[in-house]
Amino acid sequence: MSTLTQQELVLGLFEAAPATFLSLRQLGKESFYAQGMPALKSEEYKFTPIAKKLESGLTDFFPAKPIKISTEQVKSAVFAGFEGVVLVFSNGQYLPELSNSTEGLTVNLLSKTENTPLGSIAKADNDPFTALNQATFTDGLHLSIDNKKVIESPILLLQFHQAQGGQVISPRIWIEAGDFSKATFIDYQVSLDDAPYFVNKVVEIKGGVHADITYHSLQEESNQVIEVSNVVTDIKQDSQFTSTQITLSGDMVRNNLTLNLLESNSVGNMYGLYLLHGKSHVDNHTNVDHTIPHAESNELYKGILADQSRGVFNGKIFVRQIAQKTNAFQQNNNILLSDDAIINTKPQLEIWADDVKCSHGCTVGQLDEEALFYLQARGIDKITARGLLLYAFAGEVLDKIEEDSLRNYIVNQIQKRLGSNF
């Protein structure tokens, strides 16, 4: 694999970039070339050879054009019982005619808000794919929540993806939450068919003071999808940010989640569940940066891996020297259902302050045979018993999802699977 090939790979993307955010794109391009595609030996991507995957899995390295989406498609994709705002995207492009809004939420195309400081939260130099997105995204969305606005009903970012030529989709989203605001976002990615494509997503979330923001992400795409997602948030004083990352499928998926705890009394929660089968490869890299005293982070990621699937978890907790009285908790638990499934899990703690409470732990195990026998001995067939146990394992993460329609939907999808393959 030569660098030249990889540079050639992305040339089409650079050429197709629109004439907006010109200087930003230029910086992104320079940053991308400075970093290059992550090499096989790259520390950050060592278990996830995404560059190689892109080379072999994609045929057409150009931006995917938006495809037509019908109201019926929207209706059938929205979770049963969901009541809230629906923002529809087709291959990363916003479709206002299928979307709605609510009081206190302002929705704008990024191309109409060129003063948006894109790249100030998700920094291009921190990740080559962030840089690539910055240089080549087509358009995206600017969402802002007014100060003091509490939006109780969730905001669904319904992202339809389909690229029959194996092209690239580069969603770019900027969210600004006002002071004392509250909102829940659900980022839901669905494939419309089985053709491969590459999603390179960047979401930047700028929290206000005393804000309470939840960002759920549900990846339920085809098993041909290659994806890199970068979600980065700045968390201010007295604020809380909660992320849940649920991944049910994909060929190779890499999720980078970064929480910057910038002011005191802030709380960052990171919850994740990956339920993998076939040859899915899913890598969750999380990074929480405690930059100030008196902040808290809680992290729980759980995985169930069947067949030849592979999971990677890397949880970085960075506690700076001034960040005294930090509370940081991290847990990663995995169940391997087959001898061929693999998990690489690694806590990465860098703690420079001395008066902190940090704990972390990871477990990798099989399904508890004793528990299975116990349930069978009560008359429950093996498959149902297995489902009950796996569901109980996953439940600890699912319980963190307060939005009923989303949780019920995921529960349903999982149960469908637990009854068959799992």
Partner 1 sequence: MLSIKNLHASIEGTPILRGINLEVKAGEVHAIMGPNGSGKSTLASVLAGREEYEVTEGEVLFQGKELLPLSPEDRAREGVFLAFQYPIEIPGVSTTNFLRTALNQVREYRGQEPLDAVKFLSLMKEKMALVEIDQKLLSRSLNEGFSGGEKKRNEIFQMAMLNPVLSILDETDSGLDIDALRIVSNGVNKLKSDTTATIVVTHYQRLLDYIVPDFVHVLYKGRIVKSGTKELALELEEKGYDWIKEEVDSTATV
| Contact present, 181 and 152 (Cβ < 8 Å) | no
Min separation Cβ 387 and partner 1, Å? 10
When the beta carbons of 175 and 418 are compared against partner 1, the nearer one is 418
Q: Is 306 exposed, middle or buried (0-12, 13-18, 19+ CB in 10 A)?
A: buried
The end-to-end CA distance of the chain, in Å, is 37
Cα(255)–Cα(274) distance, rounded to whole angstroms?
Answer: 11
Could you tell me the smallest distance in angstroms from the CB atom of residue 346 to partner 1?
24
CB of 403 to partner 1, least distance (A): 21
The CA distance from 191 to 194, in Å, is 7
420/422 Cα distance (integer angstroms)? 6
Asked if 55 and 166 touch (Cβ cutoff 8 Å), the reply is no
DSSP secondary structure, 238-272, as one string:
T-EEEEEEEE---SEEEEEEEEEE-STT-EEEEEE
The identity of residue 98, as a single letter, is L
Provide, rounded to whole angstroms, the least separation between the CB of residue 382 and partner 1: 7
Based on CB atoms, which residue is closest to partner 1, 114 or 399? Answer: 399
Near partner 1 in 51-70, by CB under 8 A? none
Closer residue to partner 1 in complex, CB, 253/304: 304
356 versus 380: smaller Cβ distance to partner 1: 380
Q: In the complex with partner 1, which residue's Cβ is closer, 8 or 381?
A: 381
Closest separation in Å from C-beta 419 to partner 1: 12
CB of 365 to partner 1, least distance (A): 12
Q: Is 152 exposed, middle or buried (0-12, 13-18, 19+ CB in 10 A)?
A: exposed
Minimal distance, residue 335 CB to partner 1, in Å:
12
Nearer to partner 1, 22 or 392 (CB): 392
- Annotate 187-243 with DSSP letters as a single string: EEEEESSS---EEEEEEEEE--TT-EEEEEEEEE--TT-EEEEEEEEEE-TT-EEEE
DSSP 324: T
**107 part of the interface to partner 1, by CB under 8 A:** no
Q: How far apart are CA 345 and CA 357, in angstroms?
A: 21
Smallest gap from Cβ 393 to partner 1, in A, equals: 6
To the nearest whole angstrom, how small is the minimum distance from the Cβ of residue 370 to partner 1?
Answer: 5
> Which amino acid, 87?
L
CA neighbor of 168 nearest in space, from 206, 197, 129, 201: 197
Q: How far from 421 is each of 80, 276, 324, 333, 338, CA to CA, in Å? A: 24, 10, 47, 20, 12
Nearer to partner 1, 1 or 383 (CB): 383
Closer residue to partner 1 in complex, CB, 40/383: 383
336-395 residues in contact with partner 1 (CB under 8 A) are 368, 370-371, 373-382, 384-385, 388-389, 391-393, 395
Query: By rule CB under 8 A, what count of residues binds partner 1?
Result: 22
- Using the minimum distance from each CB to partner 1, give the nearer residue, 34 or 383: 383
Q: In Å, how far from its chain's centre is CA 285?
A: 10
Interface with partner 1 (CB under 8 A) = 368, 370-371, 373-382, 384-385, 388-389, 391-393, 395-396
